[in-house]
Structure 1
Amino acid sequence: MQPLSTQERKKPTPVLLPSRWRRIGLWITGCMLLGGLLAVGAGAVWVSTLDISKLEHPLPEPTLIMDRNAQPASQLSSSRIEPVPLMQIPLELRNAVIAVEDRRFYEHSGVDLWSITRALWRDLRTGEMKEGGSTLTQQLAKNLFLQSDKTVSRKLKEAAYALKINMTYSKDEILELYLNSIYFGEGRWGVQGAAQEYFAKPVSQLNLVESALLAALPKAPTTYSPAKNKDKALERRNLVLSLMKEQQFITTAAYTQAIAKPIVLQQQNEESLKGKYPSYVDYVIEEAAELYGFTEEQILTSGLRIYTDLDPLVQQTTEEVYGLQSLFPESRTDQMIQSGAVIMDHRTGGIRALIGTRGPQIYRGFNHATQLRRQPGSSFKPLAVYGPALERGYSWSSALYDGKLDIGGYRPKDWDGQTRGQVTLKEAILRSWNIPAVWLLNEIGIEAGLDFVRRAGIPLTAADRSLSLALGGLSEGVSPLQMAQAYGGIANLGVMQKAHAILKITTKEGRTLVEAVPHSTVLTRPNVAYDLTLLLQEAVKSGTGTAAAIGRPAAGKTGTTQLPDTPEFSGIGANGAKDAWFVGFTPELTTAIWLGYDQTDRDHYLVTSGGAVPATLFNRIMSRVLRDVPVTPFPIPSASRNQPAAQASR
């Protein structure tokens, strides 16, 4: 036998495992493979069952309220987000976000395993669970479906949701959803809101430097907010630009030019449309629902364009006047004296301005201009008494009784406690005396007064069939809107246009959904309306409404409702009032103003009258609104050009 070589001697002898151990090893390996497959299968089933239907619903689009010039005046939305299509978002902004937040966005399956591995290794080394490694898809999932707790369980759910989203949507769709929902600081979600907040322009107009700054914010919106810390914001912005250069989204030259530019923020020249003109907008919502059948959800989420008769000059002026606290009586500390006002174009019925409350504006709060129902006092006399009397041949010089009066137990008194025996109709309306008005209504018949009031669009009840109608003693009361519409019929030569805010409602694309149809009714004959206008003009010139005089044609009537004659108000007497009104008009506009407490009691009542605060408010508003409008007289009806009926005698 030949001796073994050195190499042959060193060759290891294989050790064969018994067949039993081989079988065990194979069994364990098979179990592990099977377990892995089952785990993967279970994970796939779990991912497939996740509900991401929230993403299937388009983000609610804000509705715009358009003014009478077809310009945006206010914005309505149920969402904090104003979504924009991806194609309206500059490519530079999209690339900036990808560069800093998820450079492999278009390559991974919603979860970037390499980034997660690095993040987990960092967490294990530090012993803390920190954010990191999340893709844009994971961030989207976290924002929409998960809590912000930093646990392994939440990270697993985040990854699962991201996988499901990635399987359901294209990368561009995911990027659009992300950019429209991420938080950018200063109370702004989505790139459109952020662009408006920091640069006062739509996102589509952003340049490279501005885009990089927005992309810098989602990681830590408060820390990097340019409004709070420009130095940190600048550092972070330049990092974004550096990453864009590194990933070849921009050239070296563009990078060098961009980092040399400072951060320049632009305050919006005008306040945000959202929340503007709340009282007017509240009524627009009410009108859209009641007249045209829209639900509030449709109004808030459908991206409608609601064209209205709102006049920004008139509305803004009215709001500014209402902001002058010195014009109002001092309120008690626990309750503010409230007020409501409506200004309308009596020629069309279009509501030009509306104030629903004083103090803090509450969305869909109580609107004193439209929802209030209070007794109108003497401002009701032209409708219940003097209008129907003129229709029946009475004139300015007609003699009216002014003495002690008791009609079936009803004993009216004049505000000054005096009687004059006999006065003319003109004197009675100028001085707002009560006894002549009640006597005259009794003479012409209560039905005559009720008929005129009904034609004026004022709802009545059976309880209103009494002589107290002459003094505005209505059982349910009226609103400033109803009074403005009624007086508008006088100002418009007897033709009353239905008051309205909405002209038409269209889709965002311009397709008309509904369009207002003008509606008018005949209140009275033109010559009667003109005579009543001249009487009310005299009331402003030399009667109880002199505080409303504005140096140009104006007519109107004051109204003051006395406190109830009950033990609660004993001792206050004529020194207190419950409501104060002024309803008046010029050749251009009709205005109704109410003043009073929401809850009137012994500690909360007015010590003013309709001829004081409400008339002064009319003066301040109308003098500003009509400052640049040429002065014109009240129109004369053709039948009255030669001999106005007011000059006839009875």
Structure 2
Amino acid sequence: MEEKLKIYLTKFWKWISPYLIQLKNHFIRIWRKFHIGKILILLGLIISLFATISLYIYAKVEDVEDLKAGIEQVTTVYDRNEEEAGTLYSQRGSYVSIKEMSPELINAVIATEDTRFYKHKGFDIIGIGRAAVQYVLKGGQISGGGSTITQQLAKNSFLTLDQTLIRKLKELFLSIEIEKEYTKDEILEMYFNKSYFGNGVWGVEDAAHKYFGKSAAELNLAESATLVGMLKGPSNYNPIDDMEKAIGRRNIVLDLMVNNETITRDTAVAVQQENLTLVDNYQESNGYKYPYYFDAVISEAIKHGFTEEEILGGGYKIYTSLDQTYQQEMDQVYEKDGYFEDASDGTLLQSASIMLDSKTGGVLAVIGGRGEHSFRGYNRATQSTLQPGSVLKPLSIYTPALEKNYDLDSILPDEEGLKFGEDNYSVSNATNQYLGEVPLYKAVADSLNVPAVWLLNEIGLNAGIKSLSKFGIKVTNEEDKNLSAIALGGMDKGVSPLDIASAYTGLANGGIRSKGYFITKIVDSTGAVVVDNEKPKQNRATSPEVAEKMTSLLIGVFTNGTGERNKPAGYTIAGKTGSTQLTFENEYNGTKDQWTVGYTPDIVLTTWMGFDHTDEEHHMTTSSAALGVGPLFKAQMEQLLPQTPLTAFETKSAETLVAEENPQEDWKEDIKESVDNLKEKINDGVSTLKEKTSGWLNGVFGN
């Protein structure tokens, strides 16, 4: 078989060879005739020229001239009064000038990282040659090396850490621009202040305090060599995590200093015999004063097009709607553990609160959770998707009902066993009590479920969904387009406290809903405004007339409804309570989520309480928001309201308005209530008399 295959291949080769020779000669003639070699060389030169021009332009448009200002300055957050509120975490430490650094430190870094630093103009042709050889050997991957101190500064300040030829070329052109803009000493100064030294420490000054308990100016030769050695790999060569590796790397740096003739061999040998004594007196400056608020500021800045690294390390001034007084008052309330019934295994009962300016939607204060804060961790006030419960009713049912000419005292059915919709959905009141029929204002105040579902069924499910959309709550999940989700807030895809607070600005501000926001503007290190967000994002959610009627209904929640016991003493507010049911049986008739929303013409406060993961061991044992989240909400309001302008509502509670319009009916109702009370007292008296008589008779005649 093999012999036959060889014979066939030989015959095929003899047949095709003449054609291949002809093709080769034809190709050579065309190549020579049309000068293809020259054309390819020309194209290569054009591509190289284009690439060079592109890289040159890239280097020019980068803010090289602002590099030092960016490193020196921290990103500062300002409150709504343009007073400094704090600073953001950033990749920088305490900035010091090169005059405040030990000369041994300078000598060590030049010997180790860039021996020709004072001779080149930003790049070293020898180092580039070495990197080019590595590029070929590594199959197109840059493995490091060849970068001058200036190039390392360019990389740390402007570029990503990916090891590619393009990044290397960008680094080279940027280093040329940096050398044009700054002196060698300024470049070294920025390099040391920008470098990372492990254990969360940036900059040589803080590193000196972290590892040796002294300033950068006081470092001796051994300590200087140790810090410079860490630049190769801060996690591997720092003496806290690995003393042996740190000393080994230090000794290599000392040998390099001998080679560079900055110290003698005898000096190096003597220092290499020394042990390192660690002293940590580093104290991190805590400018991150309001962690959940600042987390949200960073997240919002990212939505404006910044990266986290840019916003933390760019030296920006971020102006916000923060009110430090409100934030501090809210913080103080949340520090009191008595408001929270944690689980028996120690799991924290969680809570979140957010306070908005009623007119603009600016976030005045926020609490994202309880327990230890983690940088840009889970913020329950802004990132959660929770079932809203009955706090949805004013937005999805009663506002569109008033728009369809229902009124404050419209009579609604309140009967057990009613069924609604095509699927015969039925619902019960939380108290399992039914009045037959109730005026609309009482259905709202007492948060009755049956009248609410009946009303939504009457005006139409789509009317409720459309109303929610106008209040900024988009119902996109098909599984949530049902009476239970829209009327009672039993959503699969829920909402955050920020969503609810933003929605209620539409009732607090005459029908104009404002989208909640943190940042008003961002100014860069040159003074230029790079984000202008001072104009609120608003839309009309309902008419001023309907908003006023809704406010009168929601005042009643706190005067004679589910929020009565949590009304802040001495203040009039409007709002709504809400809770969601557990999905399992429990002896306490407990709840999963609890909400309270309250507002005045000045502010909106939304507070949520619940466990992050609800199960038989982790749920609230209180059956209503009045007993769980209510006291926490009340405490916040009583702390916050005295600090507000205390603008009064232009309306009264719905019950009061109805009574004023129908005084005769109100009089009859008072008589009826008095008669009912009298009957109750008579019945109680009769029952007591029977019990006493029975007891006396038993005592006389025995059981």
TM-score by length of 1: 0.65
The residue type equivalent to 1:277 in the other structure is Y
State which drifts further: 303-312 or 618-627: 618-627
CA contact (8 A) 1:380 1:471 kept: yes
* Unmatched segments (≥5 aa) in structure 1: 1-54, 87-93, 103-134, 142-157, 198-212, 222-266
SS of residue matched to 2:437 = strand
> Aligned to 2:302, what secondary structure does the other structure show?
helix
Partners in 2 of 1:538 and 1:69 — Cα distance? 34
Q: Deviations over 1:25-61 (max 9, x none)?
A: xxxxxxxxxxxxxxxxxxxxxxxxxxxxxx9986755
Change (3 A) 1:345 1:196: farther
Number of residue pairs the alignment of both structures matches: 466
Task: State whether residues 284 and 501 of structure 1, in contact with CA within 8 Å, keep that contact through their aligned partners in structure 2.
Answer: yes
1:211-263 deviation per Cα after TM superposition (whole angstroms, max 9, x unaligned):
xx956654599xxxxxxxxxxxxxxxxxxxxxxxxxxxxxxxxxxxxxxxxxx
494, 501, 509: which one pairs with 1:484?
A: 501
Distance 1:191 1:161 in 2: 16
- 1:195 to 1:295, Cα distance in 2 relative to 1, 3 A: same
C-alpha contact 1:181 1:190 (8 A) present in aligned 2: yes
**C-alpha distance 369-186 of structure 1, shift in aligned 2 (>3 A):** closer
- Does the 8 Å contact 1:137/1:165 carry over to 2? no
Q: Which residue of 1 aligns with 2:590?
A: 576
Aligned 8 A contact 1:395 1:647 in 2: no
Q: Deviations over 1:571-591 (max 9, x none)?
A: x16611110001111221101
Alignment partner, residue 546 of structure 2: 528
Instruction: Please give the residue correspondences for 1:92-131 in structure 2 after superposition, counting only pairs within 5 Å.
Output: 94=99, 97=100, 101-102=102-103
Superposed CA deviations along residues 619-650 of structure 1, whole A, max 9, x for unmatched, are 2222222324454311469xx9xx9899889x
User: Paired residue for 1:402?
Assistant: 414
Following superposition of structure 1 onto structure 2, how do residues 194-209 of structure 1 map, counting pairs within 5 Å?
none
> How many angstroms apart in 1 are the aligned matches of 2:382 and 2:205?
35
Within the candidate set 345, 357, 371, 2:383 is matched to 371
SS in 1 for 2:542: coil
Quick one: distance in 1 between partners of 2:644 and 2:288? 29
Tell me the secondary structure at the aligned position of residue 427 of structure 1: helix
Provide runs of 4+ in structure 1 moved above 4 Å. 55-61, 168-171, 181-197, 213-217, 643-649
Does residue 165 (structure 1) correspond to residue 117 (structure 2)? The answer is yes
- Distance in 2, Cα, partners of 1:636 & 1:166: 77
Instruction: Name the SS of the counterpart of 1:369 in structure 2.
Output: helix
Q: 1:339-366, CA deviations, whole angstroms, 9 ceiling, x for partnerless residues?
A: 1111000101111111111111111211
Q: Secondary structure at the match of 1:488?
A: helix
Q: What does residue 89 of structure 1 align with?
A: none
Q: Which moved more, 1:323-332 or 1:500-509?
A: 323-332
Q: What are the equivalent positions in structure 2 for 1:48-59 lying under 5 Å apart?
A: none
Matches within 5 A, 1:21-420: 60=71, 62-83=74-95, 94=99, 97=100, 101-102=102-103, 135-139=104-108, 141=109, 159-161=111-113, 163-167=115-119, 172-173=185-186, 176-177=189-190, 180=193, 214=215, 217-219=218-220, 272-290=285-303, 292-333=304-345, 335-404=347-416, 405-407=418-420, 408-420=423-435
Contact 1:395 1:646 in 2 (8 A): no
Opposite residue 546 of structure 1, the aligned amino acid is E
Fraction of identical pairs, as percent: 41
Q: Which of 332-341 and 376-385 deviates more?
A: 332-341
Return 5+ residue gaps in structure 2 as ranges: 1-63, 121-149, 151-182, 224-281, 663-703
The equivalent of 1:451 in structure 2 is 466
- 1:523 is displaced (CA, Å) by 1.0
Q: Which shifted more, 459-468 or 477-486?
A: 459-468
Distance in 1, Cα, partners of 2:209 & 2:578: 47
Helix, strand or coil at the partner of 2:406 = coil
Aligned to 1:256: none
State the alpha-carbon separation in 1 of the partners of residues 195 and 399 from structure 2.
63
Aligned partners of 1:573, 1:446: CA distance in 2, in Å? 34
2:482 aligned with 1:466:
yes
Which of 602, 607, 616 is matched with 1:588 structurally?
602
Query: Is structure 2 residue 527 aligned with structure 1 residue 558?
Result: no
Cα deviations across residues 71-100 of structure 1 (Å, max 9, x unaligned)?
Answer: 2223224414243667xxxxxxx3xx57xx
Residue 228 (structure 2) aligns with: none
Q: Which residue of 2 aligns with 1:239?
A: none
Of 542, 549, 555 in structure 2, the residue corresponding to residue 537 of structure 1 is 555
Contact 1:395 1:648 (C-alpha < 8 Å) held by counterparts: no
Residue 164 of structure 1 deviates from its aligned partner by 3.1
Q: Deviations over 1:532-563 (max 9, x none)?
A: 11111111122111243221121111101011
Q: Partner of 2:642: helix, strand, or coil?
A: coil
Matched residue, 2:525: 508
Deviation at 1:319, TM superposition (A): 1.5
1:196 and 1:69 mapped to 2: Cα distance?
36
1:373-404, Cα deviation, whole Å (9 max, x unpaired):
11111111111111112222222222111112
Corresponding letter in the other structure for 2:377? G
Distance, in Å, in 1 between the alignment partners of 2:407 and 2:588 is: 31
The structure richer in helix per residue is 2
Q: Which amino acid aligns with 1:348?
A: T
Q: Which residue of 2 aligns with 1:495?
A: 512
The two structures have a TM-score, normalised by structure 2, of 0.60
Does the aligned pair in 1 maintain the 2:94–2:205 contact within 8 Å?
Answer: yes
- Asked if structure 2 preserves the Cα contact closer than 8 Å seen for 1:62 and 1:82, the reply is no
Q: 1:526 & 1:85 partners in 2: Cα distance? A: 60
For residues 183 and 473 of structure 1, what CA distance do their matches in structure 2 show? Answer: 49
Change (3 A) 1:315 1:159: same
Aligned AA (1:502): I
Change (3 A) 1:174 1:374: closer
Partner amino acid, structure 2, of 1:421: G
Residue 479 of structure 1, CA deviation: 0.7
Query: How far does residue 332 in structure 1 lie from its aligned partner after superposition?
Result: 3.8
Q: Any residues of structure 2 matched to 1:600-639 within 5 Å, and which? A: 600-608=614-622, 609-629=624-644, 631-635=646-650
Whole-angstrom distance in 2 between the partners of 1:646 and 1:195: 75
SS at match of 1:307: strand
What is the SS of the residue equivalent to 1:314?
helix
CA-CA distance at 1:604 after TM superposition: 1.1
Alpha-carbon distance in structure 1 between the residues aligned to 2:614 and 2:474 = 24
Partner Cα distance (2:458, 2:500) in 1: 25
Cα contact 1:376–1:478 (8 A) shared by 2: yes
CA distance 1:338–1:394, change in 2 (3 Å): same
Tell me by how many angstroms 1:278 deviates.
Answer: 1.8
